[in-house]
Chains A and B, each alone.
Chain A
């Protein structure tokens, strides 16, 4: 059974929503309904189900209704029509008391602008969800501390949120949501207010956390890269409707319609990504120390047929092939200089994927990423293909 299941979930803002619902049935667009009835359609008949332990990403541009949709899931916004089932119970028809109970025990939310309470310390913020359940002080302190440690904030518990950076504040937001051990985590553009580097870091950390927690996560974002990185499945929204639900591959390979295709195209990975994103650490031999024997041994160890050669300061000297090294060993040559080849396919770290494509196509050996004569990394064909497919194995630490 799915943990969360939405059926025809709709929200119409403004007076007389019934009339707008009728127009929605007729298939009128959001704009046409606004003109005709004066109502704004927030969410139009959204249906989806989320399985336990899944990261379900809801993606769309601003105004697409994704923030409204996430608020319908915990009923911060009253749905106009439709149902939202949590463990089989319809949240939309619950009375206030059971709604409160469900919010306390099953659902937690992380907010875009953190929404931390500035008058409370970090620990008190993390305790909030437990405090309103009237859990005894010692117990809730314990649990809140554990949640803070989980997000790497063990040492800041007495400070006020205002004293922390954005990334740290959102960790507190995450700890607050995790402290009461909910089944479902609703994350409303949780990382959008953070700068790109911190955002990547938080994404990685969420993936790490998720591998140990196995929560059901509904993650809202406007960022395709973020969706591809995090999502087990992605729902794409436009004008309040869900236009496609699928795994990242399905969305990229089989866009359901022009809109999805455009969305995917807009974030053309071959233009966005550069050499530094896909390079990996090079295996090298040191010309100052090693001879053909060591080189052969290293190549055998790594399963390579060629290897780049650097000096002790990591200046790129050239490359050698296994055949040459083997011949050199037989001829009892002890120096790599003699067999060094210089026709290196090289790029710098800002080179775009499109250009790398042309170079790597003609090259029998991995492309070298070079800066100031020093070897930064190498790019193998597999990495280029993987990055274009968008399967999340892009190496962002170098960015």
Chain B
């Protein structure tokens, strides 16, 4: 009897609806998606193959090590780790894969920040915007990351561009949240001071709120970069090149050795990127 009640309403076609909606988007917005796919794809290919891979690995390693040395306040730790880590990846024959992954992470992170910071600012300024965007962010972060791969393929085919798209959805929320948080945490008296002297909204934002929120926003960006890296690995399932693809193919062939080596490569990259963004944040305080 009770089961009958549950069955009273027939199955709602959510899946079909979503599919219909995606198809609609694909059809109507192909004018928008196709140029993105083409231009962004070309640019990323150019960046990884013509720029990053064209730099001799030895020079790349030295530059990174020098940067690490100066950013960390002339300490040797990060520089030494960068040299050994990057050399190890080179030694294992994964240099080109590494460059592909770096390209993906950089592009995805930069786009995430460009999109995320303004949305965060909007949220901090408008309660309505905050009420609407917060659940969307929750949704974006809790939905299993693999799910984003499907519309990504529908819109952008396979390769680097859908990888960036999926990673954008997955990795942007921390930047948005931390920007919002950082601005809302600016002390009330400072905001009052800025108003009392007759600042416009823009002046207040750029002269007081953003500088005061910088450390918090940078923490969010650090999270975003790390999430992009993890998503870039998953995106190898839809043909994004890089270290992730090596992990995937060793999984398919149950090849523990190669899987481990490629995995270690990702870990090394993650540590270097993480320490770089964190030390830069600390230093500026």
Contacts and interface: CB of A to CB of B under 8 A. Distances in A.
Interface of A: 71, 74, 76, 100-105, 107-109, 111-113, 115, 117-119, 128-129, 131-133, 176, 180, 186
Contacts of A74: 196
B207 A107 contact: no
Contact of A100 (B198, B207, B211): B198
Interface in B186-218: 187, 189-190, 192-200, 203, 207-208, 211-212, 214
10 contacts: A100-B200, A101-B198, A103-B196, A104-B198, A115-B189, A115-B193, A118-B212, A132-B197, A132-B199, A132-B207
A112 B199 CA distance: 20
Contacts of B207: 117, 128, 131-132
A117 B208 contact: yes
A128 B207 CA distance: 9
A180 B197 CA distance: 9
A109 B200 contact: no
B199 A109 contact: no
Contact of B200 (A71, A105, A107, A132): A132
Given A115-B189, A132-B203, A107 B211 contact: no
Contacts of A131: 207
A180 B187 CA distance: 24
Given A100-B198, A109-B196, A132-B203, 16 more contacts: A74-B196, A76-B192, A100-B200, A103-B198, A105-B198, A109-B192, A111-B189, A111-B192, A113-B189, A115-B190, A117-B211, A119-B211, A128-B193, A128-B194, A132-B207, A180-B197
A128 B187 CA distance: 17
Interface residues of B, number: 18
A108 B211 contact: no
B197 A117 contact: no
B271 to A, nearest CB: 30
Interface of A is mostly: mixed
Contacts of B194: 128
A101 B190 CA distance: 19
Nearest to B193: A115
Contact of A108 (B192, B196, B200): B196
Contact of A128 (B189, B192, B197): B197
A118 B211 CA distance: 10
Contact of A76 (B187, B196, B203, B211): B196
Residue of B189, B197, B198, B207 with most partner-chain A CB within 10 A: B197
A48 B196 CA distance: 21
Interface string B32-65: 0000000000000000000000000000000000
Contact of A111 (B193, B198, B199, B200): B193
Nearest to A112: B189
A117 to B, nearest CB: 6
Interface of B is mostly: helix
Nearest to B199: A132
A103 B195 CA distance: 8
Contacts of B190: 115, 117
Contacts of A119: 211-212, 214
Interface string B245-263: 0000000000000000000
Nearest to B200: A100
Contact of B197 (A108, A112, A113, A118): A108
Nearest to B285: A119
Contacts of B214: 119
B148 to A, nearest CB: 38
Nearest to B214: A119
A115 B192 contact: yes
A186 B203 CA distance: 22
A71 B199 CA distance: 16
B201 to A, nearest CB: 10
Contacts of A105: 198
A176 to B, nearest CB: 8
Nearest to B187: A115
Closest 6 CB pairs of A and B: A104-B198, A103-B198, A115-B189, A115-B193, A109-B196, A129-B197
Contacts of B198: 100-105, 129, 132-133
Contacts of A113: 189
A298 B211 CA distance: 66
A169 to B, nearest CB: 12
Contacts of A115: 187, 189-190, 192-193
B193 A109 contact: yes
A132 B207 CA distance: 9
Nearest to B190: A115
A117 B211 CA distance: 10
B188 to A, nearest CB: 9
Nearest to A134: B203
B216 to A, nearest CB: 13
A248 to B, nearest CB: 28
Nearest to A186: B196
A176 B199 CA distance: 14
A101 B196 CA distance: 11
Nearest to B192: A76
Contacts of B208: 117
A119 B209 CA distance: 11
Contacts of B192: 71, 76, 109, 111, 115
A128 B198 CA distance: 10
A180 B207 CA distance: 18
A84 B207 CA distance: 29
A104 B197 CA distance: 5
Nearest to B188: A115
Nearest to A97: B200
Interface string B11-30: 00000000000000000000
A102 B195 CA distance: 12
B197 A76 contact: no
Contacts of A107: 196
Residue of A105, A128, A133 with most partner-chain B CB within 10 A: A128
Nearest to A124: B207
